Amino acid sequence: MSPSDALRLKLANGDYVKVYIDLGSVVMIIRISGDIALGTLWVPRQARTVDGKRINALLTDSTEELGGGSVINSTRVKIYKIEYRRLKFFI
């Protein structure tokens, strides 16, 4: 996430956030970088989220109007800070 977006949303590096669309949500840890464009949230395609989901949980099966490809690079999401505790299991 860009520093300007993080400031606007009152987020800091390491904050837990919920990223969501109408169809689903994931929990992630925010990283702020000047290399990310304003209004952009970048996530590696192979990412597994804090709550164990794949980033595909935020994708629809619709296609881009231009070219008919996947919407993986243009999905609009909402994001907000959350309190989150990882559960630790001991065996």
Q: Residue 24: how many CB atoms within 10 A of its CB?
A: 13
Residue 13 has pLDDT above 80, yes or no: yes
Q: What is the pTM of this model?
A: 0.81
pLDDT tens digits for range 54-72: 888 888 778 877 788 777 7
pLDDT confidence bin for 73, thresholds 50/70/90: confident
Q: 7: part of which helix (H) or strand (E)?
A: helix 3-8
- Please list, in sequence order, all residues whose beta carbon lies within 8 angstroms of the beta carbon of residue 73, skipping any fewer than 6 positions away: none
pLDDT digits (tens, 9 = 90+) for 77-86: 999 999 887 6
pLDDT band at 89 (very low <50, low <70, confident <90, very high): low
CA distances from 40 to 27, 37, 65, 69, 84 (A): 17, 6, 20, 19, 23
List the structure tokens of 19. Answer: 């990223």
